[in-house]
Structure 1
Amino acid sequence: MMKMKIAVVDHVHLEEEHIKKLQALGDLQVFQNPPKTPDELKERIKEADIVIVGWSDLTRNIIDSAKELKMISIWATTCHYADLEAAKEKGVVVTHVPGYATESVAEHTFALLLAVIRKLPLADKHVRNGDFDWRPFAGRELAGKTLGVIGTGVIGCRVAEIARVFRMQVLGYDKYPNLKRAEEIGIKHVDLKTLLKESDAITLHVTLTSETEGLIGEKEIEAMKNRAVIINTSQGKVIDENALFDALKSGRISFAGLDVLESEPPSKDNPLFKLDNVILSPHIGFHTVEAAKRCTDICIDNVVKFLEGHVQNTC
């Protein structure tokens, strides 16, 4: 196995064992802080054969500037950190890490769902302000309710499994459903219109594409059950934020739990910040100690397999 120059170009979770493994594979450079400019990113990768990237955008211009580049190992499930067309033209292999955060994202989905229907942030604030009146905080139970899962891939299926433990009915919508897996879990696949109409709570688990951008807009919200709940731990742009704000403000949608937003970081005057019936988190669904280590393990294994001539997890 030939040694190559490996550059970790921004913040990637690295434990001592990971650093030692990378050093055994090649000449290693680690940059912990994100590059401030595209030129700084170009400088970091200019001599690298292999680039490990967590957050930086490897555009066509940046990829073309890296004359020795042979592989990009993305420390994430999504592939959008690299211009795949530019990489393909240059003969650069691009890999990603599928499935590493399934448990983390699924659990965070339910953390948001339970927090909104039991009004936990408001109750916490209430107690901290010196009030202990329980009467304003009547919540809802999950048992017996219907959860609509939009996107029944690995994460969506795990969410459905958890929902079944809560004794929820589960409706699913996916353009390419795994019907055998759905039957094992107890997901009833329906069309989107039916899911919107019949679900008490809706959770989104789709990748961002031209088809899914704006998937939930004014028309879809109008089709939902009155006072439904929306949870999004997938991609912010799959929901029309303006339409969601209007529905939350009017009470048409009772609660929302959002781990992702249309623009990240959001502007400080985002109107959602003014609403008490929405809970926000800063895109942390994937972010657990266990998932971070798992992601790095697979990310480095992608490099090992590339060097051995057995490429895996390509974008």
Structure 2
Amino acid sequence: MTEIYETQSERTDLPLVVMPAVLDAMIEPIKAQFPALHDVARVRMFEEFTSDEAVLAERLKNADALLVGGYHISDDLLRTISEQGHVKCIVFCGTGVASYINLELARELKVRVCNAEHYGDHAVAEHTFALLFELIRKVGQLDKDVKAGNWAWAGGDGLQLAGRRMGIIGLGGIGTTVAGIARAFGMEVAAWNSHVPAEHFERSGSVPVDDLNELIETSDVISVHLPLNDATRGIVTAENLAHLQPGTMLINTARSEVIESGALFARLQEGDIPAALDVFDHEPLTVDDPICHVPGIVLTPHVGWRTDGAFKELTRQMIACMNAYFAGEDYNVVVSEH
């Protein structure tokens, strides 16, 4: 039976905030934030993760606001909870809300949508290097070999980061953090100069490169950190990827959709580009997905953002969004209800 955690249940005069599904790792961090809603709103959290929309809709009956944790809101569910219910504010547990909710439909329905910003800069940047180190040092495979009694050095010779060039596509909070780590490893760092404030280059020590093809062609490692929005969807094209030189390593911990659909898989099929991905066109991946069978590829299940520090800051911002909504203020608003 699903555990239900509630606060101020007797305060029926207060609006109701419902979290109809929650990731296990978020339960304690977000509980620690609920006191900030004292005398502002009641909270009802179902301590079980599900993406079953019939279940979500049932749990959201009588809700005034919704906390979303790790599942997609279909257009049908969005219409159900806004038109047939009372939900007029949705707070998403992350930055890339456009991948999970139809923002244009939310705007039509006059539902406020909020997200969290920069909560996972360090988490995603660190995961970027976890993926990169797996490509250059193959620690996971070597661990298996040693435990299997294989002490042979075959495959154990790695690549060195110091002296190599990191090319960053997307020099925001995460990209800037990646740049700092790369420089600490002795790498030269360059970044695509696409609507990036000059201070980002100054702060990160990155060299601006105006032409994306030039950045891709002259880098030893390409790391993607663009947010997903209407302007960035498919912005990295097949023509851009054609400029990858054999042996260039590609890391994507941003969103799969910022790369032209099908372009990355087609380029990887040539077999000369080591790649590590944390994001995909369809999640979760199935074992028969073609991307799983690209030789040498490293894949993780969209976990770059999941660290203790990121959960703490993420949940703080989620509750801050709720407080602002009920106070008639704005905080991390992506779509306004007005």
Cα deviation digits, residues 256-296 of structure 1 (max 9, x gap):
11111221111211233334521111101000011112111
Asked if 1 retains the 8 angstrom alpha-carbon contact of 2:27 and 2:47, the reply is: no
Asked if 2 retains the 8 angstrom alpha-carbon contact of 1:144 and 1:168, the reply is: yes
Distance in 1 of aligned mates of 2:54 and 2:270 = 47
Match of 1:14 in 2: 27
Asked if 2 retains the 8 angstrom alpha-carbon contact of 1:104 and 1:287, the reply is: yes
Q: Kindly tell me the number of residue pairs found equivalent between the two proteins.
A: 314
Match of 2:289 in 1: 270
Distance in 2 of aligned mates of 1:74 and 1:120 = 35
Distance in 2 of aligned mates of 1:120 and 1:245 = 25
Within a 5 Å distance, the mapping from 1:229-244 to structure 2 comes to 229-239=249-259, 243-244=263-264
Match of 1:71 in 2: 89
Cα deviation digits, residues 216-271 of structure 1 (max 9, x gap):
45433321122100001011233468554554454421x21111122111121123
Distance in 2 of aligned mates of 1:42 and 1:65 = 12
Match of 1:226 in 2: 246
Give the 3-state SS of the residue equivalent to 1:158 in structure 2.
helix
Asked if 1 retains the 8 angstrom alpha-carbon contact of 2:120 and 2:305, the reply is: yes
Asked if 1 retains the 8 angstrom alpha-carbon contact of 2:171 and 2:200, the reply is: no
Give the TM-score of the pair, scaled to structure 1.
0.90
Letter in 2 for 1:193: N
Q: Following TM superposition, by how much is the alpha carbon of 1:192 offset from its aligned partner in structure 2, in angstroms?
A: 0.3
Match of 2:69 in 1: 54
| Structure 1 range deviating more: 154-163 or 208-217 | 208-217
Distance in 2 of aligned mates of 1:274 and 1:231 = 17
Letter in 2 for 1:134: W
1:115 to 127, 131, 134: 134
Identity value in percent: 32
Q: Following TM superposition, by how much is the alpha carbon of 1:211 offset from its aligned partner in structure 2, in angstroms?
A: 4.8
Match of 1:5 in 2: 16
| Structure 1 range deviating more: 216-225 or 191-200 | 216-225
2:63 maps to 1:43: no
Match of 1:25 in 2: 40
Q: Following TM superposition, by how much is the alpha carbon of 1:155 offset from its aligned partner in structure 2, in angstroms?
A: 0.7
Match of 2:151 in 1: 132
Asked if 2 retains the 8 angstrom alpha-carbon contact of 1:77 and 1:97, the reply is: yes
Distance of aligned partners of 1:91 and 1:5 in 2 relative to their CA distance in 1, 3 Å threshold: same
Distance of aligned partners of 1:309 and 1:249 in 2 relative to their CA distance in 1, 3 Å threshold: closer
Match of 2:182 in 1: 163
Ranges in structure 1 where 5+ consecutive residues have no aligned partner: none
Q: Following TM superposition, by how much is the alpha carbon of 1:23 offset from its aligned partner in structure 2, in angstroms?
A: 5.6
Asked if 2 retains the 8 angstrom alpha-carbon contact of 1:98 and 1:313, the reply is: yes
Distance of aligned partners of 1:210 and 1:297 in 2 relative to their CA distance in 1, 3 Å threshold: closer
Asked if 1 retains the 8 angstrom alpha-carbon contact of 2:278 and 2:301, the reply is: yes
Match of 2:314 in 1: 295
Letter in 1 for 2:297: V
Within a 5 Å distance, the mapping from 1:155-194 to structure 2 comes to 155-190=174-209, 191-194=211-214
Give the 3-state SS of the residue equivalent to 1:143 in structure 2.
coil
Give the 3-state SS of the residue equivalent to 1:189 in structure 2.
strand
Cα deviation digits, residues 142-168 of structure 1 (max 9, x gap):
111110100111111111111111111
Distance in 1 of aligned mates of 2:147 and 2:243 = 38
Letter in 1 for 2:202: E
Distance of aligned partners of 1:134 and 1:240 in 2 relative to their CA distance in 1, 3 Å threshold: farther
Give the 3-state SS of the residue equivalent to 2:90 in structure 1.
strand
| Structure 1 range deviating more: 305-314 or 52-61 | 52-61
Asked if 2 retains the 8 angstrom alpha-carbon contact of 1:63 and 1:86, the reply is: no
Match of 1:99 in 2: 118
Distance in 2 of aligned mates of 1:302 and 1:140 = 44
Give the 3-state SS of the residue equivalent to 1:223 in structure 2.
coil
Asked if 2 retains the 8 angstrom alpha-carbon contact of 1:63 and 1:87, the reply is: no
Distance in 1 of aligned mates of 2:92 and 2:124 = 19
Give the 3-state SS of the residue equivalent to 1:136 in structure 2.
coil
Distance of aligned partners of 1:77 and 1:242 in 2 relative to their CA distance in 1, 3 Å threshold: closer
Ranges in structure 2 where 5+ consecutive residues have no aligned partner: 1-12
| Structure 1 range deviating more: 222-231 or 180-189 | 180-189
RMSD between superposed Cα atoms in Å: 2.4
Letter in 1 for 2:152: D
| Structure 1 range deviating more: 169-178 or 193-202 | 169-178
